[in-house]
Structure 1
Amino acid sequence: MPKVYFNEFNLGVNTLTTFQPNNTFHVSDGYMWAKGRHTFKFGGEFRYLQINERNVCSPNGAFTFDGSITGSDFADYLLGAVQNYNQCSQQFLDSRTRYGGAYAQDTYKVKPNVTLNLGVRWEVSMPWYDTQGKIETIVPGLQSTQFPTAPLGWVVPGDPGIPSTLAPTRYNNFSPRLGIAYSPGFKDGMAGKIFGGPGKSSIRASYGVYYTSIEDLNLFYEVGDAPFGLYWVSPNPVNFDQPFQEVANGMSEGQRFPFVFPKPGSPANKTLDYSIYLPISFSPGYDIHNRPPYAEHYNLSIQRELSKSTVLTLAYVGTQGHKLISQYDANPGDFALCLQLNQLGATPTCGRDGENQTYTLPPGVAAPAKAFTTPCPLGTPAGSTCIPGTRDYLGPAFSQNNSFTVNIANSSYNAGQITVEHKAADFTFLAAYTFAKAMDNSSGFGQWVNFLDPRLSRSLSAFDITHNFVVSYIWAVPFDRAIGKLPKRLTQGWALNGVTRYSGGLPVSLRQGGDYSLVGGGNTDVPDLVGKVVTQNPRNPGPNGPNTFFLPDAFASGPNGGFGNANRQFFHGPGINVTDFGISKRTMIREAMGFEIRAEFFNIFNHANFSNPHGNYNNMNTFGTVTSTRSFGDTGSGSREGQISAKFTW
């Protein structure tokens, strides 16, 4: 039975069922040797990981009825007016990876108050591979020899220069580590006053390089793609009874199922019919030059004991991320070609979302040098030239949403921190303030970077918070000492606790859909910045109505063929002001038996903490407007909530 989707419900079997047994084999050992003022440590580890997936994905197809024809999804169903149809083959994955690491470290006690730590780690992280080579990637200009009928650029392990791991294993991943700890011993003078005397202060600094492996998920987006699988999405509405036939013109998309899996290394692969896979869409490529991402971590801290129960810490911490995994469009439209086709009089006019449209040039007009050509349909004037879209990087054999996984992203984080901690018999208090800035050109694997120049995507990180102040406390209320006449079971065991946070907001993410860049997708398109961004309290009514955080007048749509000049994230949204409070009472019944009751209140002052405003310039009804509040923790709500709980221990 196929899956049938309506706007509010669905019928049929699940579209995806996964069976995934995994195995991890791990061996490690370490050795320590102390000699004089040196403590040496040596060691290593080896890991072998296996992931085996057997995914059943829409084996009988899935139909979507959304009401786009009649206005009612169920009426569309009665008419058999399918908006979308998809079907896919089973997905088989037998992935493996190996990791090896070794380290050497020397902790050197230079003086009683100075300790130096020197070390190095060597790591070898093999990229994930499939035991039968059932993965593929994109290398522009390279023709597959394993599958000679594949489109140019679509390659598999075993092709020239393509190892089983797609990218080579790197053996030069050396990670130096340096640390120093110093306790000033000044007894008098200005230095003695600043550091408080021997044993009252400590200064620590460290630097290290840390490598990480590329996760299996990032690589094996390639699983189930041509020719080792097929995920088919109808490009246009199709008939309910004939899901591979378009409604508009009756054109057949070809019978693509049941799908027959090619056997790696089989002679039949040399003549495999690739037409059932074309155009390839929603299939990622993995850069064959990828290497393990790494980060540099560094910090400097000064800790000062102000009293026996109070400690002040000043710190500077930073991280620089390099070769981070990101994505960009592997086969974008060519905006210059689109504009050139219009100058040559092509029909229809090339514009937004026209990357996959077929264009016809007048008789006698030659196609641009970068353009692909295709036979013109019957009825086209003699001498005309037909252009199958503007995706000239990989060509018409590749359609839309083919991402390219590559480690070209980078990040930076720098922060100053101040912490005051007080611990006494009945009262514990911690206050921390952080002044920070985080920047990157991709804040996550799913956030694409500009394919022309990743530097154009560099902006504030999605999680950047400039100011963050947090106070927490626990007070064991001494009722038993203040009220001595009542039974101790009533006066002992009371405690108050709370956490208060004041912080700035997260950056507002700007985007502009509608394909103004003429490259397709619009994943990196932003509006033009034409003025100063003016923000206001969303509680107050503004010229653009209630709940307005920033005025849209600072932005405008850019011209066709441009990505927009605004940064994707360059100013912050509403801040956070929230206080959680709790009170508890613990009563001991006997030595090993007790009863505790707690009352906890989240956002006890019911302060409205607004979510970020909408940043999609295409929707001017909500652009710059806040439409929801934040939720915190496990409560699932941003408004004041309370709960009472009890616990019995024995």
Structure 2
Amino acid sequence: MGIAITPDDPTGPTILDFASGMRVGFSPQGPTGLIDNTFTWTDTLTWIKGAHTFKAGGTYTPYQNNTVYDFYINGQFDFVGVGGASGPYTKNDHADFMLGLADEFIQYPAAPSNIRSKNVGGFFQDEWKLRRDFTLSLGVRYEYSSPKLDLQGRSFTWVPGQQSTVFPNAPKGILFPGDAGAPRGANFPDKNDWAPRFGFAWSPGQGKTSIRGGFGVFYDILKGEDNLQFNGQAPFFAFADLSFDPLMTNPTAEITNMTRPFVAAGQPNPFPSTPPQKNLDFAAAGFLPLGGGGVYSVDPHLRTPYIYQYNLDIQREINSNTIFDIAYAGSNSHKLTGLLDSNPFIPGTTSRIFNLPSGNPTNAFNYLDTFANVGLANYNSLELGLRGRPREVRALGNVSYQFSYTYGKSLDTTSGFRVLNARNARVPYFDRKRFRAVSDFDLTNYISLAGSWELPFTKAWENGPSRLTSGWTIQPIFTYRSGEPIDVFANLSRNRTNPGPSAAGDQNLVRVNQVAPVTYFDPRLSQSFNGRSGNYFFDPNAFSTSGLTATPAQGFDPVNNPSQRTYGNVGRNAFRGPTRTNLDFSIAKRTNIDERTRLEFRAEMFNALNHPLFRNPNTTFTSGTFGQISSTGTSSGGVSDSQPRIIQLALRLIF
């Protein structure tokens, strides 16, 4: 297609990504060279003294990560299709592609890193048996993980207004290892990770009741996400995040932004990347404006996330075969990690925070995604259980069962960063708790019932052949769960020159506006909206992005009119997807051939009723299938809930 780019390590064609859902090209994750060396030293000591059982121990784990990281190394063009205030854009992503007009281009380097860290921990615990029926457990644990650092010093941090002495020509505000006020690695050390524990177990009366409870503080290990600070960052490596509209308003047939993206954006081409010199001219090297999709930093004051966990459980033996259980479980999480734009637009201006100090007359900084402690979360649940041990039930034969029900609620400000199914890990700079809502994975109700029934054919046919009538067992497993939360974004692209409807540059956090009551439909039936037919779960016309476009419409000025500043009137995770009901079923026949040999036949059915288990609908507002459910199953791909009915047969000879 005439795309003129110079990757560090070309591994395939440039990726084309369309807002309507189509993607052309290989995975953005290219070949990655990885050498990890992990060593662990650990020991535990136990001392029993009277009613006390003392335990103490420690562990030491040095961490090494040696990586050559290829990500978007061949570049990617994004076609948003929302149109602009000027220029030849058509407001159709596919038509813009045919004209060679992309909205954004990103390209990363081949980026080596040599990361080191050390993890140490120690604990002491006393299990004290105060009485025959009461045990108390007290303990404390200490953990420390040294901040990750690159052996070659390839990291940086943001300190507004301070000039680097390591790279004297760097824009004010970006510092490197060796600069005053900059950490040696990803962040400054956090040495305050003390974690006390408390628990008890009480069996009052005749031993038919058990009461247990506990409280503990638990520290997480900072995930490998902070490794990304060392992968492909300026000025140690080249990167590119080019926004063309409205930068490129007069493309020609010879120079579209797809054929020569750096020329079209008026930016120097920094590829292939080379090691920087201390007197590096950041502008001439193509590193300005710093920021965008190619820059990733860690908050220098990052702290280890931690969680308070607490529970109380009461278990009662109703009779010799039946046990009832009721429990409360809760948690409260603090300093959870996510992304924060450290360089938002200041409301009331069209300037970003880092571009205001003198010395940055050319808007040297774009948006700056920073890995920081931005999240809070809590979880509360009521858990009920009823368990029946195997027993003979008159003419029914041998029966056992286990029933459980959980009524819970999980709230957070963001549901994880780059974890499975996490939809968005960013929070607004000026209001970090704005999107506190039910978690992406919240399930209000969950019911499970499993059982085993040995069929009493021998009793029903006393004179029948025992090898035929004995050994039959059926085992059903029934589950029900509430629908998962769904989020409806306006699907706006961030722009370094436009503050967008939030006036803070947070376009990718903007949800849609709800303009009518939401009507839900049976996804097994086809509906038609706006000339399109499909299996709609909700009415797409209930939502609109009017007044939310990345380029302000006439009369829309959130910078100077605070009343117009909005993230859309639909809250985070405001709706629920379809509920799920499933039945798995198995039947088995065991036949004794002699005293030492047994033949076992099993027939297992997953989704035995062949009930459709729908995925969540498409919530990409700009997609042609917005509001539709196009597949069944779950993104995790579990066998029992991702397929039509499956029957598998097995025959085993046991000897």
User: For the structure 1 residues 135 and 436, does the alpha-carbon distance in structure 2 shift closer, same or farther, using more than 3 Å as the test?
Assistant: same
Q: CA offsets, 1:593-619, max 9 Å, x none?
A: 655443222222233333334445556
Deviates more, 1:510-519 or 1:467-476: 510-519
2:166 matches 1:146: yes
**Alignment partner, residue 562 of structure 2:** none
**Alignment partner, residue 347 of structure 1:** none
**Alignment partner, residue 517 of structure 1:** 502
* Map 1:566-645 → 2, pairs under 5 A: 566-587=570-591, 595-616=599-620, 624-631=627-634, 633-634=638-639, 637-645=642-650
2:315 matches 1:311: no
User: For the structure 1 residues 450 and 595, does the alpha-carbon distance in structure 2 shift closer, same or farther, using more than 3 Å as the test?
Assistant: farther
1:4 to 13, 30, 38: 13
User: Residue 186 of structure 2 contacts residue 226 of structure 2 at CA under 8 Å; is this kept in 1?
Assistant: no
Cα deviation, residue 199, structure 1: 0.7
**Distance in 1 of aligned mates of 2:200 and 2:261:** 72
Specify the code of the residue in structure 1 equivalent to 2:120: G
User: For the structure 1 residues 184 and 531, does the alpha-carbon distance in structure 2 shift closer, same or farther, using more than 3 Å as the test?
Assistant: farther
User: For the structure 1 residues 321 and 74, does the alpha-carbon distance in structure 2 shift closer, same or farther, using more than 3 Å as the test?
Assistant: closer
**Alignment partner, residue 471 of structure 1:** 449
**Alignment partner, residue 328 of structure 1:** 340
**Distance in 2 of aligned mates of 1:531 and 1:73:** 29
Cα deviation, residue 491, structure 1: 3.9
Cα deviation, residue 98, structure 1: 1.0
**Alignment partner, residue 225 of structure 2:** 217
Q: CA offsets, 1:502-522, max 9 Å, x none?
A: 221111213223453244452
User: Residue 63 of structure 1 contacts residue 82 of structure 1 at CA under 8 Å; is this kept in 2?
Assistant: no
1:527 to 512, 515, 526: 512
User: Residue 480 of structure 1 contacts residue 491 of structure 1 at CA under 8 Å; is this kept in 2?
Assistant: yes
Work out the percentage of aligned pairs sharing the same amino acid: 31
**Distance in 2 of aligned mates of 1:331 and 1:628:** 39
**Distance in 1 of aligned mates of 2:232 and 2:157:** 12
Cα deviation, residue 310, structure 1: 1.2
**Distance in 1 of aligned mates of 2:572 and 2:540:** 17
User: For the structure 1 residues 463 and 649, does the alpha-carbon distance in structure 2 shift closer, same or farther, using more than 3 Å as the test?
Assistant: same
Deviates more, 1:313-322 or 1:109-118: 109-118
2:404 matches 1:432: yes
**Alignment partner, residue 284 of structure 2:** 275
Cα deviation, residue 570, structure 1: 3.3
Q: CA offsets, 1:518-565, max 9 Å, x none?
A: 444522212356776665655678897963446854877566432234
Cα deviation, residue 9, structure 1: 9.3
User: For the structure 1 residues 115 and 398, does the alpha-carbon distance in structure 2 shift closer, same or farther, using more than 3 Å as the test?
Assistant: same
1:420 to 383, 386, 406: 386
**Alignment partner, residue 90 of structure 1:** 110
* Map 1:61-460 → 2, pairs under 5 A: 61-62=74-75, 87-185=107-205, 198-233=206-241, 235-236=243-244, 246=260, 253-262=267-276, 268-271=277-280, 273=282, 275-276=284-285, 277-280=287-290, 281-282=292-293, 283-334=295-346, 336-338=348-350, 396-400=363-367, 402-425=368-391, 426-446=398-418, 447-460=425-438
**Distance in 2 of aligned mates of 1:330 and 1:101:** 33
SS of aligned partner of 1:225: coil
2:536 to 541, 547, 551: 547
Specify the code of the residue in structure 2 equivalent to 1:129: L
Tell me the C-alpha RMSD between the 2 structures.
4.0
User: Residue 530 of structure 1 contacts residue 556 of structure 1 at CA under 8 Å; is this kept in 2?
Assistant: no
Deviates more, 1:629-638 or 1:296-305: 629-638
**Alignment partner, residue 194 of structure 1:** none
**Distance in 2 of aligned mates of 1:81 and 1:37:** 77
**Distance in 1 of aligned mates of 2:453 and 2:515:** 53
**Distance in 1 of aligned mates of 2:121 and 2:80:** 57
User: Residue 147 of structure 1 contacts residue 272 of structure 1 at CA under 8 Å; is this kept in 2?
Assistant: no
Q: TM-score, normalised by structure 1?
A: 0.78
Cα deviation, residue 139, structure 1: 2.8
2:486 to 498, 503, 508: 508
Specify the code of the residue in structure 1 equivalent to 2:482: G
User: Residue 552 of structure 1 contacts residue 624 of structure 1 at CA under 8 Å; is this kept in 2?
Assistant: no
2:578 matches 1:564: no
User: For the structure 1 residues 133 and 428, does the alpha-carbon distance in structure 2 shift closer, same or farther, using more than 3 Å as the test?
Assistant: farther
Where structure 1 has 5 or more consecutive residues not aligned to the other structure, the ranges are 186-197, 263-267, 342-354, 356-368, 376-387, 389-395
User: For the structure 1 residues 534 and 139, does the alpha-carbon distance in structure 2 shift closer, same or farther, using more than 3 Å as the test?
Assistant: farther
Specify the code of the residue in structure 2 equivalent to 1:630: G
User: Residue 542 of structure 1 contacts residue 548 of structure 1 at CA under 8 Å; is this kept in 2?
Assistant: no
User: Residue 245 of structure 1 contacts residue 251 of structure 1 at CA under 8 Å; is this kept in 2?
Assistant: no
User: Residue 579 of structure 1 contacts residue 603 of structure 1 at CA under 8 Å; is this kept in 2?
Assistant: yes
**Distance in 1 of aligned mates of 2:28 and 2:344:** 33
Deviates more, 1:213-222 or 1:25-34: 213-222
Specify the code of the residue in structure 1 equivalent to 2:59: E
User: For the structure 1 residues 157 and 374, does the alpha-carbon distance in structure 2 shift closer, same or farther, using more than 3 Å as the test?
Assistant: closer
**Distance in 1 of aligned mates of 2:274 and 2:222:** 31
User: Residue 441 of structure 1 contacts residue 455 of structure 1 at CA under 8 Å; is this kept in 2?
Assistant: yes
Cα deviation, residue 316, structure 1: 0.3
User: For the structure 1 residues 250 and 289, does the alpha-carbon distance in structure 2 shift closer, same or farther, using more than 3 Å as the test?
Assistant: closer
Q: CA offsets, 1:458-495, max 9 Å, x none?
A: 11111111111111112233445544555544444432
User: Residue 177 of structure 1 contacts residue 207 of structure 1 at CA under 8 Å; is this kept in 2?
Assistant: yes
Cα deviation, residue 212, structure 1: 1.2
SS of aligned partner of 2:274: coil
Q: TM-score, normalised by structure 2?
A: 0.78
Deviates more, 1:42-51 or 1:471-480: 471-480
**Distance in 1 of aligned mates of 2:622 and 2:501:** 10
Cα deviation, residue 415, structure 1: 0.2
User: For the structure 1 residues 589 and 72, does the alpha-carbon distance in structure 2 shift closer, same or farther, using more than 3 Å as the test?
Assistant: farther
2:54 matches 1:40: yes
Cα deviation, residue 258, structure 1: 3.2
**Distance in 1 of aligned mates of 2:306 and 2:638:** 31
SS of aligned partner of 1:289: coil
Cα deviation, residue 141, structure 1: 2.4
SS of aligned partner of 2:185: coil
User: Residue 126 of structure 1 contacts residue 165 of structure 1 at CA under 8 Å; is this kept in 2?
Assistant: no
User: For the structure 1 residues 254 and 430, does the alpha-carbon distance in structure 2 shift closer, same or farther, using more than 3 Å as the test?
Assistant: same
User: For the structure 1 residues 144 and 478, does the alpha-carbon distance in structure 2 shift closer, same or farther, using more than 3 Å as the test?
Assistant: farther
Specify the code of the residue in structure 1 equivalent to 2:385: T
Where structure 2 has 5 or more consecutive residues not aligned to the other structure, the ranges are 1-9, 17-21, 82-88, 392-397, 419-424, 493-499, 548-555, 559-564
Radius of gyration: which is bigger? 1
**Distance in 2 of aligned mates of 1:256 and 1:314:** 62
User: For the structure 1 residues 374 and 156, does the alpha-carbon distance in structure 2 shift closer, same or farther, using more than 3 Å as the test?
Assistant: closer
**Alignment partner, residue 7 of structure 2:** none
**Distance in 2 of aligned mates of 1:622 and 1:372:** 48
How many corresponding residue pairs? 582
Specify the code of the residue in structure 1 equivalent to 2:303: R
